[in-house]
Structure 1
Amino acid sequence: MRLFIRRDINAVVIAALAALAAPPVHADNVGDRLVIADASSDRGMPAPYVHHKNGPGYIYTSYVFDTLIDHGANGDLTPGLAESWTLSDDGLVADLTLNDKARWHDGTPVTAEDVAFTFAYMTDHPYVLTSVAMVDTVEAISKDHARITLKRPYAGLQSGPLLSLPILPKHIYQDQPAPERFVDRKAATGSGPYKLVSYDKAQGRYLFERNDGYYRGTPKFRQVAIVKMAPDAALQAMAAGEVDVIGSLPWTKVEAAKKAGLNVLSARSNHPVRLVFNHQGMFREKDLRHALAFAIDRQALIDVVYQDGAVVAETGYFQMGSPWRRETADPDYAHDADKAAALFRQNGWERGDDGRWHRDGSPVVLRLIADKSFNNLATALADQLEAFGISVDLRILERAAQQEHVRTGDFDLALFTASTMGDPNGVARRVTSPMFWRGDRFQDSEAMKAAIRAQAGALDHAERLDQLHRFQALYAEELPAYMLVNPIWTTVHSDKVTPRYLGDGVAFGIPSALHKSMFLR
């Protein structure tokens, strides 16, 4: 049976690589190629405007396109296309010196004109994952000198757009009026460590070839192949030496990976699942948000749904391991049914003889929306609330239907997830913006909004931390949303490569161990 499985998995990998016009893996060239297994479907063509607008889509695109500043292997900021940079005392002007060895994949030099063009182009054609709204002008002072002038001091310039914004080749994109429809192979002309060789949209397969002239040194592997493969098949292929990395392994498969003697790397995702309140309805009252929090047993949710695959989330937005988090413990709203009941009664709720809760003479029925990925968690949560005496109308919806329910206010509670990592200037969008449908959409705390604004302009790091710690305390007190569980994410790898989870995530906070630093020497 074992021999049959190995042959079957080998056939899968060889077929995937053959479909990408790559020779099969053999002992004489295995060290030249890295094979990454991805259980999900197509992530989109690895070019800035056409990759899927999520973390994996960005990660794969970053193998092809470089940014001005990059992460080092430990998550520190390190030179990318900009080999050095300075910021004026007033925080309004950044001068960047580009690496004069940087080249586009077609051999054209990367210049300050490309940098100026990218910011102007992305002002007219916004890149969904990184904003340039804080930028006033970008000038090419010389071939290798770009000057960025900001509209106002912006504390997150280096760890925000300079770290996350892929720089575009002007000579390729300047004649593209609709970049979201630009799917010609030339759209993937970048300056990164790997060139795109082939991409199979139907199968979600990618083959990248090493950029031998890469300005930061020759990458380790001649080729990087990404193949779609279910977790069980990927584990078997890794045991057979046919796969080198499983980017994301479900927690239910972790023990199998360990028993097989594979290298298992796990970390808190800091991409917590949170219970979002409709702040235009009954949960505009903070006491009711607190009451519901005390009514929920988060550890019991983990025991039922995740077991060893999650931990109880921190309530003050930032999670353990975040460089922005204060060490002081946040209120944990530990499960306390009596305290929950007392708060509900103080706010006009009454419990009938049948144990069901009523408000204004009518039974309380909470509309809970979630997508199918949270079906088990939503069901367990609904069961807890039902046991407490609160009826729940659970609706498992597709994305478009979720958006419509949020837009029209047709919900009381929702389960959403988003990264809490990356530069904290993303907090405003995720917490207070009414435009981000999966955000908290919380507008009722002027003190919280003031702290978010203040940290954005605080050029002194200690001052910025003070404001962020103030925000953290306010978040835990106001509960714009209730952080429920923090899933554990796992990557499995061979000895050929050393993936790392970065403390603040990749770029704008992606919880992935597949940053391109693992390809560099």
Structure 2
Amino acid sequence: MTLGSGCIEEAQSLVSRDNAKQIAFSIKTLPADADPRAIRIARFLAKRLNEVGIAAQVVPMERVELLSDILLDHTFDCYVACFPGFDEPDALRTLLHSRFSTGAGWQNPFGYANLNTDSQLIAQRKQSGLQRTKTIKQIQHSIARNQPFSVVAFPDEIRATRTDTFNGWANIQQPHSALGYLSVETSTEKSTLRMTTQDARPTENLNPLTAEYKSDEAIVDLLYDPLGRWIDGEVQTWLAHSWEWQSTPDSPEKGPIATIQLRDNLWWHDGESLTATDVAFTYQFLKDTALGSLENPVPSPRFRGAATLVKSATAIDDQTVRIHFNPASQAVARRAFTVPVLPKHIWEQKQKRANTVFENDTPATQALVWENLQAIGSGPLQFLNTEATEQLTLERFDHHFLRHIYRDEVTVNTSSDQPSHLEHLKRYASGPQFERLRFIVVPSGAAATQLVLNNEADATATGVSSADVRTIGRADNVQLHVDQSPAMYHVGFNARKTPFSNVRFRRAVAQLLDKEYLVEEVFDGYAKPAASPLARHDTLAEDLRWVDVDPELPFPGTNGTLNQAKAKDLFKDAGFRYTNNGKLLRQ
């Protein structure tokens, strides 16, 4: 028997298809005890992927290992995690611009490269007002089309606080934050505020520059002060008594210049004076932690975005520093004021090369691998002691400027300060009302809740799960708090690797997320599904606002159940093929 040419071609096609490999990849995330929401999202996605012929498996990993794979080594296919959120849309620049794709930390871990997005991210830095808002909306549309990551939901923060020890929680927007702790009021003679946390990393590492350890911004913000803080939606003076701009927003190509006057009597926790020299050093160091000693700069991963706004910083005298910015509007340039000021006499010694290397053999400096456990900052709290994986205790720093700005009924304590410069600090007058702040590490939200109920803790720092809501609500002397969080659960894709280098494949995978269903099933309704990373920012693109269904990638099914035929068509339309037994093949 002989075969015609058409039959031969068909047979060859069948053999080739049978020999082709099925698409298979892992979804990395935290284990259930560390983040039950993330792993449930990952399992939902894996199940839907299996239903459309992709061999996907969930790989739970310890937090530091997971963040190392995502933020340092980029050794992942895709992952599910919670991103801390955005104060300023310019943070999207370091998250997505192609120039940051080889960096460590939350600097384009996706390896995303899109020239149009790059130009928009650069343009918005120089713009202001409606023009900038328009560009930021275009960036959101680019993210929605290209899906370097897929937003799932913005969770609510559920917390328990005791009502018989410390007060004021109900009036605090973000309790677990530096400003939140400075707003807590005491109702007893207790001198130690006891908080539960499910993150043990700060008990072992307090380096604000370390990518895989740095997540709990509240603790670092209590230890280190910036020139300015986000207060009431804008960057306002903190270590800075004032700043004065020397160019107008109408000349962004030149880059603005700011002259900053520091407050009087600023001190480091070790008793050394904090001066303009420390401020100038900080910006130099964040841009290159090697201080020019290596062939190429080694920037701080954590603050690279803000640091790249600064062209140069110069100490004019002990209390005056002049900052020349790269082209940017004043609104964007102010973001650079929010980085933690570092003591030169401590960090200058950490410029030498470390044994550790990042992706592509990028060197690290000692500054990026140092544990910095007995941190020396200038913040309202200072390091006292720690027990690894058990607890961390900070104590009030009585030489902090907040302790001396106001006395009694908001009396100005220094002749140089004017009330107009201090109005936004009134609520934080005299610094923390407690003497010590202790973070107790717990394995789960349920364990955290139980400590509060037993009066072994005063409040939960990290949020607890919705399963604890009823328990908290029924308890005496314990109050339930539900607050919106800027944090964002998302699925990240590694665009450096096939098949995620294919934007149509990323879109097809992202469309398998039934976000409305996940909010109800995983978050018990204590979250808001979203299609944009700026869903909780006032620059949200109106056509990406969530109204019952994903406006960009609607789920092909109902109530979490996939319409497999429709879902498979998404991958066929993306140019992928199936075997006769339903396996999706690599291209």
The TM-score range, normalised by the shorter chain, is: 0.5 to 0.7
Rate the CA distance shift 1:365–1:247 in 2: closer, same or farther, 3 A. farther
In 1, the alpha carbon distance for the partners of 2:471 and 2:265 equals: 45
In 2, the alpha carbon distance for the partners of 1:52 and 1:280 equals: 22
Tell me the secondary structure at the aligned position of residue 334 of structure 1.
coil
Could you tell which deviates more after superposition, 45-54 or 255-264?
45-54
Check the 8 A contact 1:66/1:190 in 2, yes or no: yes
1:137 to 312, 327, 336: 312
Rate the CA distance shift 1:294–1:123 in 2: closer, same or farther, 3 A. closer
Check the 8 A contact 2:209/2:303 in 1, yes or no: no
Rate the CA distance shift 1:254–1:162 in 2: closer, same or farther, 3 A. same
1:127 to 285, 300, 324: 300
In 2, the alpha carbon distance for the partners of 1:296 and 1:171 equals: 50
Paired position in structure 2 for 1:272: 489
Paired position in structure 2 for 1:317: 533
Map 1:349-368; keep pairs closer than 5 Å. Answer: 356=582, 363-365=583-585
Paired position in structure 2 for 1:198: 385
Shift of 1:232: 3.0
Paired position in structure 2 for 1:224: 437
Asked if 1:172 corresponds to 2:392, the answer is: no
In 2, the alpha carbon distance for the partners of 1:236 and 1:209 equals: 25
Paired position in structure 2 for 1:54: 214
Asked if 1:238 corresponds to 2:397, the answer is: no
1:335 to 555, 566, 581: 555
In 2, the alpha carbon distance for the partners of 1:106 and 1:285 equals: 53
Paired position in structure 1 for 2:119: none
Could you tell which deviates more after superposition, 153-162 or 243-252?
153-162
In 1, the alpha carbon distance for the partners of 2:498 and 2:210 equals: 38
In 2, the alpha carbon distance for the partners of 1:295 and 1:189 equals: 47
In 2, the alpha carbon distance for the partners of 1:250 and 1:258 equals: 13
Asked if 1:112 corresponds to 2:325, the answer is: no
Paired position in structure 2 for 1:212: 398
Deviations 1:231-279 (A, max 9, x none): 3333233223331221121333233222324232332444122253647
In 2, the alpha carbon distance for the partners of 1:245 and 1:51 equals: 27
Paired position in structure 2 for 1:66: 225
1:151 to 316, 319, 326: 326
Asked if 1:76 corresponds to 2:264, the answer is: no
Rate the CA distance shift 1:347–1:145 in 2: closer, same or farther, 3 A. closer
Check the 8 A contact 1:69/1:158 in 2, yes or no: no
In 2, the alpha carbon distance for the partners of 1:158 and 1:83 equals: 17
In 1, the alpha carbon distance for the partners of 2:436 and 2:472 equals: 25
In 2, the alpha carbon distance for the partners of 1:182 and 1:346 equals: 49
Check the 8 A contact 2:309/2:336 in 1, yes or no: no
Shift of 1:161: 2.7
Paired position in structure 2 for 1:35: 194
Shift of 1:31: 3.1
In 1, the alpha carbon distance for the partners of 2:330 and 2:491 equals: 27
- Read off the aligned partner of 2:553 and give its amino acid letter: Y
In 2, the alpha carbon distance for the partners of 1:171 and 1:351 equals: 62
- Read off the aligned partner of 1:315 and give its amino acid letter: A
- Read off the aligned partner of 1:80 and give its amino acid letter: W
Tell me the secondary structure at the aligned position of residue 106 of structure 1.
coil
Check the 8 A contact 1:36/1:225 in 2, yes or no: yes
- Read off the aligned partner of 1:259 and give its amino acid letter: R
Rate the CA distance shift 1:364–1:69 in 2: closer, same or farther, 3 A. same
Tell me the secondary structure at the aligned position of residue 225 of structure 1.
strand
In 2, the alpha carbon distance for the partners of 1:216 and 1:28 equals: 21
Normalised by the length of structure 2, the TM-score is: 0.49
Tell me the secondary structure at the aligned position of residue 201 of structure 2.
coil
Check the 8 A contact 1:45/1:199 in 2, yes or no: no
- Read off the aligned partner of 1:94 and give its amino acid letter: A
Identity rate, percent: 21
Paired position in structure 2 for 1:375: none
Shift of 1:280: 5.5
Shift of 1:114: 1.0
Shift of 1:190: 1.4
Normalised by the length of structure 1, the TM-score is: 0.55
Count of residues in correspondence between the two structures: 327
Shift of 1:350: 6.5
Paired position in structure 1 for 2:335: 160
In 2, the alpha carbon distance for the partners of 1:288 and 1:134 equals: 35
Deviations 1:318-359 (A, max 9, x none): 22x2133133335242223475555555455577886x3xxx
In 2, the alpha carbon distance for the partners of 1:289 and 1:180 equals: 33
- Read off the aligned partner of 2:489 and give its amino acid letter: P
Check the 8 A contact 2:243/2:260 in 1, yes or no: yes
Asked if 1:86 corresponds to 2:250, the answer is: no
Paired position in structure 2 for 1:510: none
In 1, the alpha carbon distance for the partners of 2:584 and 2:540 equals: 36
Tell me the secondary structure at the aligned position of residue 308 of structure 1.
coil
In 1, the alpha carbon distance for the partners of 2:509 and 2:369 equals: 46
Deviations 1:164-210 (A, max 9, x none): x211122333344433465577x62211101111122x234211111
In 2, the alpha carbon distance for the partners of 1:265 and 1:275 equals: 27
- Read off the aligned partner of 1:100 and give its amino acid letter: D
Check the 8 A contact 2:577/2:584 in 1, yes or no: no
Rate the CA distance shift 1:189–1:157 in 2: closer, same or farther, 3 A. farther
Shift of 1:65: 0.9
Tell me the secondary structure at the aligned position of residue 322 of structure 2.
strand
Check the 8 A contact 2:244/2:260 in 1, yes or no: yes
Rate the CA distance shift 1:75–1:35 in 2: closer, same or farther, 3 A. farther
In 1, the alpha carbon distance for the partners of 2:496 and 2:224 equals: 40
- Read off the aligned partner of 2:375 and give its amino acid letter: A
Rate the CA distance shift 1:206–1:287 in 2: closer, same or farther, 3 A. closer
Check the 8 A contact 1:45/1:51 in 2, yes or no: no
Deviations 1:69-118 (A, max 9, x none): 1122x443221111211332243312111111322223333211111121
Paired position in structure 1 for 2:466: 251
Check the 8 A contact 2:239/2:263 in 1, yes or no: yes
Check the 8 A contact 1:208/1:225 in 2, yes or no: yes
- What stretches of structure 2 of length at least 5 have no aligned partner? 1-185, 290-298, 352-365, 404-429, 546-550, 557-562
Tell me the secondary structure at the aligned position of residue 214 of structure 1.
coil
In 2, the alpha carbon distance for the partners of 1:139 and 1:68 equals: 14
Check the 8 A contact 1:67/1:167 in 2, yes or no: yes
In 1, the alpha carbon distance for the partners of 2:267 and 2:574 equals: 65
- Read off the aligned partner of 2:228 and give its amino acid letter: I
Deviations 1:462-511 (A, max 9, x none): xxxxxxxxxxxxxxxxxxxxxxxxxxxxxxxxxxxxxxxxxxxxxxxxxx
Check the 8 A contact 1:291/1:339 in 2, yes or no: no
Deviations 1:2-55 (A, max 9, x none): xxxxxxxxxxxxxxxxxxxxxxxxx99753221111123232343435696332
Rate the CA distance shift 1:289–1:225 in 2: closer, same or farther, 3 A. closer
Check the 8 A contact 1:53/1:129 in 2, yes or no: no
Tell me the secondary structure at the aligned position of residue 31 of structure 1.
coil
